Amino acid sequence: MSYFPLGRPARMAVMASGRGSNLEALIKAFPHDNPLGHIVLVISDRREALALQKAVEAQIEAEYVPWPKERGREQFERVAGRLLHDHRIDLVLLAGFMRLLSPGFVQAWEGRILNIHPSLLPQFPGLHAQRQALEAGVSETGCTVHFVDAGMDTGPIVLQRRVPVLPGDTAETLAARILEQEHLAYPEAVRRVLKGEV
């Protein structure tokens, strides 16, 4: 089932747990006057996440939604779901969001929720993908933008960008090279989705 194109600018939300560099790339790619859509809400499960600060600087509503130790996912999803509904969100973008959402939440947003992952999926899902690539001795890796399903990094792929693994690479140098490609790949994937090309 395809929800796009909408015939109007899409209202997008970004969920992020960290510094928000992919958020920054998305904000630049989709300014408020972009006819395809723009970001109207940023949600983070970490109060100190730089992503929230970047949202405020861009005059985008920023919401800290805690993920408590007890029944954290359930509580987070209830509040986040209400925020997404209240802001009439069309597309949810996970950008360095370090939590696994429940199958029920993902199903409710099927076809309308994307994630970016620093490997050429299905290779190296989950955490520390760059270290996994180095330990596997591959000659190239990259990043993948995919629709989110109930699995971990298993949903249908929208696009990938490749990066060589160089002699002497560390997890950090490889991550930095992949991140440059992420900043190109994520906006391009979102454009394709919003145009109904996927």
Residues that are catalytic: 117
Give me the amino acid identity at 128: H
| Residue 23 is assigned to a ligand binding site | no
Q: How far is CA 58 from the centre of its chain?
A: 18
Which residue has tokens 């970490």?
Answer: 46
| Residue 151 is assigned to a ligand binding site | no
| Residue 127 is assigned to a ligand binding site | no
| Residue 115 is assigned to a ligand binding site | yes
Closest by Cα among 198, 181, 166 to 5:
198
Which residue has tokens 């997404």?
Answer: 84
Closest by Cα among 101, 36, 109, 115 to 65:
101
Please count the other Cβ atoms lying within 10 Å of the Cβ belonging to residue 33.
7
| Residue 22 is assigned to a ligand binding site | yes
| Residue 34 is assigned to a ligand binding site | no
186 close to 26: Cβ distance less than 8 angstroms = yes
| Residue 93 is assigned to a ligand binding site | no
| Residue 112 is assigned to a ligand binding site | no
Closest by Cα among 55, 101, 96, 54 to 182:
96
87 close to 11: Cβ distance less than 8 angstroms = yes
| Residue 1 is assigned to a ligand binding site | no
Annotated binding residues for (6R)-10-formyltetrahydrofolate: 73, 98-101, 115
Annotated binding residues: 20-22, 73, 98-101, 115
